[in-house]
Amino acid sequence: MKPLRNEVVIKQQSKDNKTEAGIILTTDEVIKENVGVVTAKGKDADEVEIGDKVLFGPGFVVQDIDKQEVLFMSQDNILCVL
């Protein structure tokens, strides 16, 4: 998959369900963080690289591709590279 312009594709990370003390918290839903890894980028997305772990803000599209949920967003929605 090749995004256009300055669009990037992010694989979002899930929040860990284990506390620092090692207690596993049970929940029916997965809590998602605003952190993910860049898996693809358009030719004008010059501030991030594929494989970068990033913190992002609102303004993305969620899409299932090949049974995997990915986020499409403009590079401008990325707040920082971690």
CA distances in angstroms from 76 to 9, 14, 57, listed in the order given: 13, 22, 9
Q: What is the pTM of this model?
A: 0.80
Burial class of residue 72, CB neighbours in 10 A (0-12, 13-18, 19+): middle
What is the per-residue pLDDT for 31? 64
- pLDDT per residue over 42-73, tens digit each? 999 999 999 999 999 999 999 998 888 999 99
Does 41 fall in a domain? yes
Q: CATH number, domain at 71?
A: 2.30.33.40
Does 1 fall in a domain? no
Total domains, the chain: 1
Does 2 fall in a domain? no
What residue numbers bound the domain in which 38 lies? 7-81
Residue 28 has pLDDT above 90, yes or no: no
